[in-house]
Amino acid sequence: MIKAIYPGTFDPITIGHLDVILRAAKIYDKLIIAIMENRSKTCTFSREERKKLIEECIKDLDNVEVIVGEGLTVNMAEENDCRIIVRGIRAVSDYESELALATANMNLNNNIETVFMVAKPELSFLSSSIAKEIASFNGDISDYIPPAIIKEVSEKLYK
């Protein structure tokens, strides 16, 4: 069985994240979505809220599981018997930062590989930050956020 882990903050999950999940779920026998802490980001949703939002979006995927992770991604991968870390790339700027992370992970554990999945062109502009900004002004986030959670995300962000 080939298991992969897809780490991120997912604050909140976007259509771009969901696209990577759907594509990776077709490639790997088991995909674990790991909601991780990023100390350089201030999250709007708690990790439990993010977990519930993601679970709502993936409820029809039998081989996908959502966990709340702690510590280093490479350690979470090893603890969950995953030999693949899946990362999405939207643009060249993503590649540069993702390459640095992949190299650090390789130095920490050379038994775990990082696989980059390139965003579909029509999804390359998506980010949780932009979606949150639009929602905070009661804007239409239907091009950013999966339909199953638009109402919940909009209600949390529009003040």
Tens of pLDDT along the chain (159 residues) come to: 999 999 999 999 999 999 999 999 999 999 999 999 877 778 899 999 999 999 999 999 999 999 999 899 999 999 999 999 999 999 887 888 999 999 999 999 999 999 999 999 898 888 999 999 999 999 999 999 999 999 999 988 876
Catalytic residue among 17, 47, 87, 132: 17
pTM reported for the whole predicted model: 0.94
The total of other beta-carbon atoms located within 10 Å of residue 16's CB is 21
| Assigned superfamily of 3-121 | HUPs (3.40.50.620)
Which residue among 50, 87, 128, 132 is the active-site one? 128
Residue from 41, 129, 142, 151 carrying the catalytic annotation: 41
Residue type at 150?
I
Catalytic residue among 47, 50, 87, 90: 90
41 as an active site residue: the answer is yes
Whether the Cβ atoms of residue 7 and residue 76 lie closer than 8 Å to each other: yes
Closest CA to 131 of 49, 6, 8, 10: 10
Q: Are 61 and 21 in contact (CB under 8 A)?
A: yes
Distance of CA 65 to the CA centre of its chain: 12
- Is residue 159 annotated as part of the catalytic site, yes or no? no
Active site residue 90: yes
Residue 159 pLDDT? 66
Q: Give the pLDDT of residue 119.
A: 92
Catalytic, 46? Answer no
Task: From 104, 105, 107, 114, select the one nearest 83 (Cα to Cα).
Answer: 114
All structural domains of the chain with their residue ranges: 3-121
